[in-house]
Structure 1
Amino acid sequence: MDTSIPNGARIYDYLLGGKDNFAADRQAAEAMLAQNPQASQTARDNRAFLGRAVRYLVEEAGIRQFVDIGAGLPTQQNVHEVARSGAPGTRVVYVDSDPTVAIHARALLATDDDVAVVEADLRSPGDVLGHPLTRELIDFGQPVAVLMAAILHFVSDEENAAGIVAEYRRALAPGSHLLVSHTADESPEHVMATAKQGFRMAGTALTPRSRARIGDFFGDFELVEPGLTDVRSWRSPLNGLPALPWVIVGGLGRKP
């Protein structure tokens, strides 16, 4: 692990107020904050959206198994913690391609038999879905929630992001759900330019997309109300929030 090179997961950890980051990560994050002082708020809003969606999936949709792809570094209110507050015994597989993330997550979850950490790249659905640990915990003959929170904007069109997500959709049983949150192409250019530079330094290209193209990731899945919205508005009690420079939209789709 070369701590002199910024890391996307650790940049996000810093924006969330975490402590698992190094000087290079903080420098990249601070450059983003200089252009957009509300970047940390955007990160927290995305995390809050994930929490609300998981609660909905457990309490209203009856989901008891989750695959969190691009999980990032463990922080407060992780998926298994939120899910189990409403349904003890819920099974969760965390997936990330970053060895640093896998090390941290395994250390945190070493004593939990219903949670697994898989080191795999979302660009290879077969490696994710067919991993022995995934197969041990997740029954794909039953409804499962696949979570892709703030990760698909790191998969370019040249890498066939739409085709990759379609493979995951095909693998799911009816009643399963797909969560997506994604950077929209609605931000000021200087804000996105700095964000792209920061993640590029971390070896990860950022690809904002239009709401229509983000919506295409759901395919024929039925969008749960209120559909694809700013993550702050999705089933949130807060109304009339001011616009933020960095726009992340999210939604939840159900397989018929």
Structure 2
Amino acid sequence: MTGEYEAMIRTDIPSSARIWNFWMGGKDFYEVDRVVGEASLKIDPDIATVSVQSRQFLVRVVRYLAGEVGIRQFLDVGAGLPTMQNTHEVAQSVASESKVVYIDNDPLALIHSRALLTSTTDEGVTAYFNCDFHDPDRVIADARNILNFSQPVGVMFMGVLGHARSYEDMLHIVRTVMDATPSGSYLVLWDGTPDSQAYVTLCEEYTKSGGVPYVPRTQEAIRAVFDGFEFVEPGFGPITEWRNKAGSGGIEQSISSYGAVARKP
């Protein structure tokens, strides 16, 4: 199976998952990713900080859901390459019996995830499935192999839905997955917004490189994805401010990554 995934890897086309790994200081990327990543930093120097802060947001969210809310099942869609403080590590450090399902279709992410994303406790379960989030029914079917959808699930779309082919697709993906979950489940979602011209230019140049396009969407558009859900305080806003006692981490307000945590009634 690993050989099959290795054959799928394109080292001549940049991958957002690998570039993100480069920005976060990881080692799992190729020369094309480094070149595009460094060029992106020249356009928007704050993107590396955003990548680190997004992981801190993930950590805060998972600790909250596992610790304060009592969620024991997590579905991380578009998980990317394993780095530090991954969802299962955080969840299982709080509640050892936590079950975590990762979904992605990047072949390098799949190879590394099969090797690295293993449960940190005997009671917990960690699994990784090869699936494109544009097929949300398949996402649900794969997740059902591990998760019990009669019990609440924490569903996470962490900075990935800008890759959705359209805004309508984005809404369809989120709503299809969340419709399968019971009351008391949580939606965690953030994405980049076009508030900064530097960030918009970065996304445009990335598309020219041959990578899968990433489309920043307005704060209003991202917020609308949460319609019908109950926001957890402090509600919708910059991810750097969500229950962050350390402050915004030095990110300029013009470089915006917005999202929220919300409960399904």
TM-score, normalised with respect to structure 2: 0.90
- For residues 25-79 of structure 1, give each alpha carbon's deviation from its aligned partner in whole angstroms, at most 9, with x where no partner exists: 0111111100122211011111111110000000111100001000000001000
215, 225, 238: which is aligned to 2:233? Answer: 225
- Between the aligned partners of 1:9 and 1:211, the Cα distance in structure 2 is 23
The structure 1 residue matched to 2:27, chosen from 10, 19, 26, is 19
Q: Aligned residue for 1:121?
A: 132
User: Helix, strand or coil: the match of 2:92?
Assistant: helix
Shift of 1:114: 0.9
SS at 2:69 equivalent = coil
What displacement does 1:169 show?
1.6
Question: Are positions 1:38 and 2:46 aligned together?
Answer: yes
Q: 1:17, 1:75 → 2: CA distance? A: 9
| 1:78 maps to which of 77, 82, 86 | 86
Report the count of equivalent residues: 253
Q: Aligned with 2:258: secondary structure? A: strand
**Structure 1 unmatched runs, 5+:** none
Task: State percent identity of aligned pairs.
Answer: 37
Question: RMSD of aligned C-alpha atoms?
Answer: 1.7
Does the CA-based 8 Å contact 1:8-1:202 persist in structure 2? no
Report the Cα offset of residue 250 of structure 1: 1.7
Q: Find the counterpart in structure 1 of residue 6 from structure 2.
A: none
Of residues 71-80 and 216-225 in structure 1, the stretch that sits farther from structure 2 once superposed is: 216-225
Q: Deviations over 1:55-114 (max 9, x none)?
A: 000011110000100000000100000011110020000100112211110011357771
1:247 aligns with 2:256: yes
Distance 1:242 1:234 in 2: 14
Tell me by how many angstroms 1:159 deviates.
5.7
How big is the shift at 1:200? 4.8
In 1, Cα distance between equivalents of 2:34 and 2:251: 27
Other structure's SS at 2:102 match:
strand
My pick for the range that moved more, 168-177 or 198-207, is 198-207
- 2:70 corresponding residue in structure 1: 62
SS at match of 1:194: helix
Amino acid at match of 1:161: M
The CA distance in 1 between the partners of 2:263 and 2:119, in whole Å, is: 32
User: Which residue number corresponds to residue 144 of structure 1?
Assistant: 153
CA contact (8 A) 2:158 2:190 kept: yes
- In 2: Cα distance, 1:128 partner to 1:218 partner: 19
Tell me how far 1:244 sits from its aligned partner: 4.8
Gaps of 5+ in 2: 1-8
Q: Which residue of 1 aligns with 2:172?
A: 163
- Equivalent residue for 2:242? 234
Q: CA offset at residue 242 of structure 1?
A: 5.4
| Per-residue deviation, residues 120-153 of structure 1 (Å, max 9, x unmatched) | 011111111112xx22310000000110000111
Letter in 1 for 2:215: T
- Runs of 4 or more off by more than 6 Å in structure 1? none
Q: Distance in 2 between matches of 1:110 and 1:54?
A: 17
